[in-house]
């Protein structure tokens, strides 16, 4: 039985060996994986991977915000930003259209709350609005994942969400929206059946929650 992961380690970068194990398991499960040094390297790689003019949806992510990837995709004018288009639409009368648009972009770019050394990607959400694109609605999915998010297995991933990510996200949500967050939905991606669709950029540094 795996040794329980101490909560204190959820903010600490994984070792090179852990990153290698996670990468190998993800590749075995059909994902494309690159191990990069840091956020600037990921920012450069995203610019190479996402074609100009593509419709792009970015999941809410401190990793993307801190790295500058969010601004590149949503504010540069190089891409068709689904998020920016959604801001111009009336949620009272066009909510169904907004949800369909979010669910089926050309490319979804996000982070994850955990990646396991056994080859799974785990994402939690309060609303669930971004999860359909991750699960298969988008033509291409790219996750940018800091080294502190690599954990041994699924039980450790779920503990990381509840004990580490949720308190930090609730603090952010209170400041931004006036209410705490919640783990209402959890998506576990155990494999990618469509060759070339899912990519993981694993960073050697810690960034985000």
Task: From first to last of the 209 residues of the chain, give the pLDDT tens digit.
Answer: 445 565 568 999 999 999 999 999 999 999 999 999 999 999 999 999 999 999 999 988 999 999 999 999 999 999 999 999 999 999 899 999 999 999 999 999 999 999 999 999 999 999 999 999 999 999 999 999 999 999 999 999 999 999 999 999 999 889 888 899 999 999 999 999 999 999 999 999 999 99
- Residue 89, SS3? coil
- Is the four-CA dihedral 182, 165, 147, 56 of positive or negative sign? positive
Whole-number pLDDT of residue 59: 87
Residue 8 CB burial class (10 angstroms; 0-12, 13-18, ≥19):
exposed
- Between CA 132 and CA 58 the distance in angstroms is 13
Residue 137: CATH number of its domain: 3.40.50.10420
Is 56 part of any domain?
yes
User: Is residue 2 included in any domain, yes or no?
Assistant: no
Please give the tally of structural domains in the chain. Answer: 1
Tell me if 6 is assigned to some domain: no
Residue 99 maps to a domain: yes
Please report whether residue 121 resides in a domain: yes
pLDDT computed for residue 6 by the predictor = 58
In a domain, residue 30? The reply is yes
- CB crowding 161-173: b at 16 or more within 10 Å, else e: beebbbeebeeeb
Q: How far is CA 160 from each of CA 4, 7, 42, 71, 83, rounded to the nearest angstrom?
A: 11, 7, 23, 27, 27
- Predicted model pTM: 0.94
| pLDDT at residue number 177 | 85
Residue 4, domain member (yes or no)? no
Nearest of 58, 97, 53 to residue 74 by alpha carbon: 58
Q: What are 16's two structure tokens?
A: 């090179």
Domain annotation covers residue 139: yes
Query: In terms of residue numbers, what domain contains 37?
Result: 11-203
- Cα 107 to Cα 57: distance, rounded to the nearest angstrom: 6
Residue 4: how many other CB atoms lie within 10 Å: 10
């Amino acid at each position: 039985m795996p040794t329980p992961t101490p909560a204190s380690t959820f903010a600490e970068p994984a070792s090179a060996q852990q990153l290698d194990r996670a990468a190998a398991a993800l590749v075995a499960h059909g994902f494309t994986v690159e191990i990069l040094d840091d956020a600037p390297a990921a920012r450069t790689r995203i610019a190479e991977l996402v074609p100009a003019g593509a419709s792009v949806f970015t999941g809410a992510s401190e990793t993307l915000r801190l790295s500058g990837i969010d601004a590149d995709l949503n504010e540069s004018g190089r891409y068709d930003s689904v998020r920016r288009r959604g801001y111009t639409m009336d949620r009272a009368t066009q909510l169904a259209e907004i949800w369909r648009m979010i669910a089926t972009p050309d490319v979804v770019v996000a982070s994850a709350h955990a990646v396991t050394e056994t080859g799974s990607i785990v994402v939690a959400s309060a609303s669930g609005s971004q999860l359909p694109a991750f699960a298969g609605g988008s033509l291409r999915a790219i996750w940018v994942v800091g080294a502190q998010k690599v954990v041994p297995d699924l039980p450790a991933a779920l503990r990381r969400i509840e004990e580490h990510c949720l308190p930090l996200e609730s603090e952010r949500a209170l400041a931004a929206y006036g209410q705490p967050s919640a783990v209402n939905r959890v998506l576990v991606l155990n494999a990618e059946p469509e060759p070339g669709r899912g990519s993981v950029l694993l960073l050697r540094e810690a960034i985000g929650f």
